Amino acid sequence: MKTRALWGMMAVAVFVMMAFVMTVAPTNVRAQAPPSSCGNAIVEPGEECDPPTSPCTTSPGGAFGTCDAACQCIENTTTTIATTTSTIAVTTTVTTTSSTVTTLPSSCGNAIIDPGEQCDPPSSPCTTSPGGAFGTCDATCQCVANTTTTTLATTTTVSSTSSSTLVTTTSTLATTTTVATTSTTTTTVCSPTPENTSPTCGDMIDNDCDNLIDCADPDCAGIFPCPPAAKDPTTITFGHGGRLDRIHGHAKLTMTAVDLTTLPVNILLSDLQGVIYTDGLPAGALSPNSKGSIFLFRNSAAKTTGGMADVKIKKNKDGATYTFSFTSYGDLSGAKDSHMRLQFYIGDDPNAASDGRVFITREAPWKQTGNGWRAPKDH
């Protein structure tokens, strides 16, 4: 009996131990396993976020980041640094470009004529005449004479002037030099057309490409009388020390009465090689005195900026003649030949030549002076 009770107690003890092992063992297995729940969208112990690639809502690393494959927050700052580096590289390139651009007059295009500019904005008409004729504002705010396209021989003179201006202004830009070369090439081309009609004999152009312009061309003189411009001494004075050259002319013109307040007036100096110099005033530039007998234009700045400094046209008491005098500043370096002639244009309309409003000085050799030329008085 005692032995059976002992066996019974042992059996109970074994059963209890087995039950204990069966109950405890699975619990220990679960506690030691690695976190396997990353990816179930629940932030559990050991995880900073879930699921991977989702944005972190807290900031354990010091900045809001992104959930990685182990459910840990990775700071976004790594990406930010890479972006900053590439931005710096781009900035270096941009700085190089802008340093080139700043060699141009930076204010070109602001509609204000700043120092170093002759006009503003680009493509606007020039109000003064530095190149020797009214022109158009180019991309660097310099006046390019319109005569480039209309007058052959001036083209060479004027375009070389504007070329050197461009090169000086933007000497660091190689492309600008190319542009200047292109315009020179374009203007030296001459396509001959007849020069024997009123419009072609009063347009200040050598239409038939023989270097003789308007009334200096026998083709015009044979059709239109081309009244003489009876001249008092006309002088050319070359500038020194950076000053502009000066031409001062004076002539008596026999002409039917015209309204000088409504007409442009121009002068053209040429020799057997073509145009040396032109200048003029647009319609409306001349102001009459109270009697309507004297018409004046004054621009004292022309001495330094170029163009017409003064024009005075007086209607003489004889009722048949006008006295035209002018002073203009510009580049007269083409005056090298004694066989120069000066033409005066009253109006630039197609009828100017047939109406007898294109005048030319008689052919008489000019005399060289110490610093220029002088045309002898011929009346």
Residue number with CB closer to Ca ion (221 or 296): 221
Q: Which residues contact 227 (CB under 8 A, 6 or more apart)?
A: 253, 254, 255, 356, 359
Q: How far is the CB of 276 from Ca ion (least distance, A)?
A: 15
Residue number with CB closer to Ca ion (138 or 217): 217
Q: How far is the CB of 252 from Ca ion (least distance, A)?
A: 24
Residue number with CB closer to Ca ion (184 or 196): 196
Residue number with CB closer to Ca ion (219 or 279): 219
Residue number with CB closer to Ca ion (173 or 221): 221
Helix axes 174-187, 152-169, angle to 10 degrees: 180
Q: How far is the CB of 288 from Ca ion (least distance, A)?
A: 30
Q: How far is the CB of 204 from Ca ion (least distance, A)?
A: 7
Q: How far is the CB of 199 from Ca ion (least distance, A)?
A: 8
Q: Cβ atoms within 10 A of the Cβ of 27, count?
A: 8
Residue number with CB closer to Ca ion (145 or 302): 145
Q: Cβ atoms within 10 A of the Cβ of 317, count?
A: 8
Across 130-165, b (16+ Cβ under 10 Å) vs e yields bbbbbbebbbbbbbbbbbbeebbbbbbbbbbbbbeb
Q: Check the CA dihedral 33-35-39-41 and report its sign.
A: positive
Q: How far is the CB of 260 from Ca ion (least distance, A)?
A: 23
Q: Cβ atoms within 10 A of the Cβ of 336, count?
A: 12
Q: Token pair 């781009």 is at which residue?
A: 90
Q: How far is the CB of 220 from Ca ion (least distance, A)?
A: 7
Report the C-alpha gap between 204 and 154 in whole angstroms.
10
Strand 367-369 vs strand 358-360: parallel, antiparallel, or unpaired? Answer: unpaired
Quote the tokens at residue 10.
């042992």
Report the C-alpha gap between 204 and 53 in whole angstroms.
79
Using CB under 5 A as the criterion, which residues of the chain lie in contact with Ca ion when the complex forms?
A: 195, 200, 203, 205-208, 210, 212, 214, 217, 219
Residue number with CB closer to Ca ion (212 or 255): 212
Quote the tokens at residue 119.
């006009």
